[in-house]
Structure 1
Amino acid sequence: MRNLTPLTLKVLLDLQYLNVATTGIKTYMMELAKAARKYPHPEIEWIFTHEPEDQSADQTYKGNQSKIQKLNYHLDYFRWKEFQLPDLVKKYKPDVLICPDFVAPAASLPCRRLTVIHDAFFWQMPKNYPSWWRKYFVSLIKKGLKENTEIITTTEYSKQSLLNYLGSSWPITVVYQAPKGLKSASDPKFLDKYKLEKEGYFLHIGTFDRRKNLPLLVNAFAEFLSTTRSEKKLVLAGGPGQSRQMNDLPVVRNLVKELGLEEKVLLTGYVSDGEIKALYEGAFAYVFPSENEGFGIPILESMGFGVPVIHSDQPALLEVAGGAGLAFAGGNQSDLMEKMILLERENELKSNLIQAGRARSKDFSAQNFIQAFHQIILSSPTSP
């Protein structure tokens, strides 16, 4: 370990949650850890609670779990936050503790806390969660907001939402994250498996959470096909929603069957990084109909691959797209269908969106992501 100068600050990054994290939070944690190593700062020493790749690969609590296994996970998570993590704070004596998964320890700590609260979904959409679990998790979040705490969130929309529910007792700073670095080689065999031609399909990647509004997309796509007689397909890649209340996968499956679109709407399940890369490289457009997002990583991933994006006019998606996407009125099936037709017929519009999207995606680099954290870490704590 290198010698520390008096100006060096120690930062402890809590990566425990990577053993169960999926989609957006997993990407956030992995990209933050990678950027911390790739772009070191001479006045900051990073200490990771876990090796990111190893913790992410841990299968102990992944997959279908019995009630006992789920209970064991919650007990394990509680032990980590309330006992093991505070012990690591005593051991390493960091100046700053970063918890990127909503929850910091309830115990008193002799350091600053940067707690990442990605969105306000627990407060905005309570019916999407089991009531007991939501109550428990929200209590954990609030108990960890104490002492010298600063909240980090993902967009101005999320900041305003959190202010509505948490008030202004704690400083809230927006840090734009970086999209996932897809380093794996593209897997074109995956496209062959589903008989997908280049620019022959609309794409959506993500879980089938109810807020994603995927039944709306399927219905709009069916209307698009009947209006245009297009040969295009729709690919919905990803796994089920994270709880029974949130899971729209059975609804989408039934809808596809009712509409007779089994050959046109492809449900691929979870996909690897190589398969994701192939899907982006071959897509005609990405469609993001979500009714609520804290950020919207797929917008930036798509734009980085030169794929035009159609997205709902939900505030976070408008903020991230920055005018480089084609917005439709959220929840409006006809407007979504019309935007899909417009993109297929107007080549100049498609080209302009691709160009604007590539430029927009560069604003969300890993270097910008970590530099924003460096600035916060090195700044004096802000009083509430």
Structure 2
Amino acid sequence: MMELAKAARKYPHKEIEWIFTHEPDEQVKDQSFKGPQTKIQRLNYHLDYLRWKEFQLPDLVKKHQPDVLICADFVSPAASLPCRRLTVIHDAFFWQMPQNYPRWWRKYFLSLIKKGLREKTEIITTTEYSRTSIEKHLGKNWPISVIYQSPKSLKAASDQSIIKKLLLTKSSYFLHIGTFDKRKQLPLLVKAFADFVRITGSDKKMVLVGGPGQSAQMNDLPLVERLIEELGMKEKILLPGYLTDGEIKALYENAFAYVFPSENEGFGIPIPEAMGFGLPVIHSDQEALLEVAGGAGLSFQTGNQEDLLEKMIHLDQEKELCENMKAKGKIRSQEFSAQKFIEAFQKKILERSLVE
């Protein structure tokens, strides 16, 4: 949502006027529901969300009378509206991986999604893989278009203090950024890296940035912490938690490579993000990641610890491979610019008008 709002303002179109329901820079500062929460806090969040989406937003549509309503978070209002709807459904995880969500919450959220697929609805998704996955579960009743996302614009100054704090040096560590959701396969990465250190004797480290998964079913952080302890990797595998944009920027600038072992992604923003910083990327051969990497990454068989280990050793020992991947990645990352992202939305917004 933030990147869409920023790009809309940075690359205006003379035929399009944007109306924001919230001031983006102010809204993003709200930390009310971030991090560990009580059941009461989570319930309050869902009640606030329901009230906003189903009552306040339709009232704003009636007030401003837009031609197009963009809902970038899966859910459009259930109420009948006079305008076109562009509803962004990023992935099909709710259908594909039911075991990762509380049963009542999944049922409730899927109900909201389906009720919002009303008249004049068009679905926007992030990759061809996601399009195929969504069609499998929702059918072909609504047109689905693919618009590639743009990575977060890390405008903050690079905060090099995080490098000193974690006792890191240039190109001395592998990097992963994201929550510890089960689908991210971080226990696999921990075990592969422990084998990498044992076999090569390397002094490289692994930095896993981020917080716990969104629910008990999804959270692999306790398992990762236990594995690190059992494998004697406390000095080699670092868990700094949530970091600021400046700290993340510094970690990207100084890493040796990015590793992305996820078993399921709708897009995989860290791939173009890391490539944009000139990092070689090792990723699973999951369909969306292969699509986004476009051959510029080094893929391994999803879930195969030995194959991941082999690719890490290969990248560590082959300097020419490393340099070639950096160059290819830089070129590939340009396909995911903020300008291309917003131009795709602009085209979608205007195309109905041209037909009519």
TM-score of the aligned structures, taking structure 1 as reference length: 0.91
Q: Could you say which residue in structure 1 is the equivalent of 2:134?
A: 162
Q: How does 1:1-384 map to 2 (within 5 A)?
A: 29-380=1-352
Q: Could you say which residue in structure 2 is the equivalent of 1:20?
A: none
C-alpha root-mean-square deviation of aligned residues, in Å? 1.2
CA distance in 2, matches of 1:260, 1:64: 28
Summarize deviations over 1:277-320 as a string: whole Å, max 9, x none: 11011100000000000111111111011010000000000000
Which secondary structure does the structure 2 equivalent of 1:37 belong to? helix
Compute the displacement of 1:65 (Å). 2.3
CA distance in 2, matches of 1:73, 1:283: 36
TM-score of the aligned structures, taking structure 2 as reference length: 0.98
CA distance in 1, matches of 2:177, 2:212: 12
Which secondary structure does the structure 1 equivalent of 2:18 belong to? strand
Name structure 1 gaps, 5 residues minimum.
1-28
CA distance in 2, matches of 1:73, 1:365: 32
Compute the displacement of 1:62 (Å). 2.8
Which secondary structure does the structure 2 equivalent of 1:47 belong to? coil
Compute the displacement of 1:382 (Å). 11
The worse-fitting range, judged by mean Cα deviation, of 246-255 and 73-82 is 73-82
Compute the displacement of 1:64 (Å). 2.7
Which secondary structure does the structure 1 equivalent of 2:17 belong to? strand
Compute the displacement of 1:213 (Å). 0.1
Summarize deviations over 1:150-192 as a string: whole Å, max 9, x none: 0000000000000000000000000001111111111111111
Moved over 3 A (4+): none
CA distance in 2, matches of 1:258, 1:64: 26
Q: Is the 8 A contact 1:171 1:382 kept in 2?
A: no
Which secondary structure does the structure 2 equivalent of 1:68 belong to? helix
Amino acid at match of 1:297: I
CA distance in 1, matches of 2:106, 2:223: 23
CA distance in 2, matches of 1:101, 1:53: 18
Summarize deviations over 1:59-98 as a string: whole Å, max 9, x none: 3333332222221111111111111000000100000000
Compute the displacement of 1:275 (Å). 0.6
Amino acid at match of 1:127: Q
Summarize deviations over 1:325-350 as a string: whole Å, max 9, x none: 00000000000000000001111100
Number of positions where the alignment pairs a residue of Structure 1 with one of Structure 2:
355
